[in-house]
Amino acid sequence: MPENEATSSGAETGAEGGGQQEQSLTQADVDRIVKDRVARVQAKYADYEDLKVKAEGAKTVEEKLAELEGKYSAAEARALRSDVAAKYGLSVEDRDLFLTGTDEATLTAQAKRLADREADRKKQGNVAPKEGATDTTGGPTKDLREFTKGLFGAAD
């Protein structure tokens, strides 16, 4: 509908309605209203990009904080393992390999058990009972030995 027709038909309807005048909008009026509304919404959220950048920066700070907390707890656990290992006279290799607990009570129990086993090993020495001994008093090979002695003759 052209602007002229919309305006004239609105005026005619208003005149016939008995005092009430109906207002009709032209496309230019609608465009202006929409532009005003869009401008108000954009003004309302004008700092959105700044807030978005700040939020991304806050995430990185939180990530850095979590990383530092992890490093701190790992260093604290390492220091606790070292203290317990030194208390029970464990080597660095044994400390790193066998002390796996996360609290002092668990680490102490592990270190004590390992130290006790090491003390027992040192007390008993490296002995394998019956190592190198031969059993010539009989057993399942007695008949075979007698046959072999008879076959080749005894070298007494």
Q: Tell me what pLDDT residue 12 has.
A: 44
What is the average pLDDT value for the chain, to the nearest integer?
79
Residue type, 89: G
Indicate whether 133 pLDDT > 90.
no
Weakest mean pLDDT among 70-74, 81-85, 131-135:
131-135
d(CA 38, CA 97): 67
Weakest mean pLDDT among 1-15, 34-48, 118-132:
1-15
Q: Tell me what pLDDT residue 154 has.
A: 64
Q: Tell me what pLDDT residue 21 has.
A: 59
Confidence of residue 14 (pLDDT cuts 50, 70, 90): very low
Indicate whether 5 pLDDT > 70.
no
Q: pLDDT tens digit string along 38-80?
A: 999 888 888 888 888 888 877 788 888 999 999 999 999 999 9
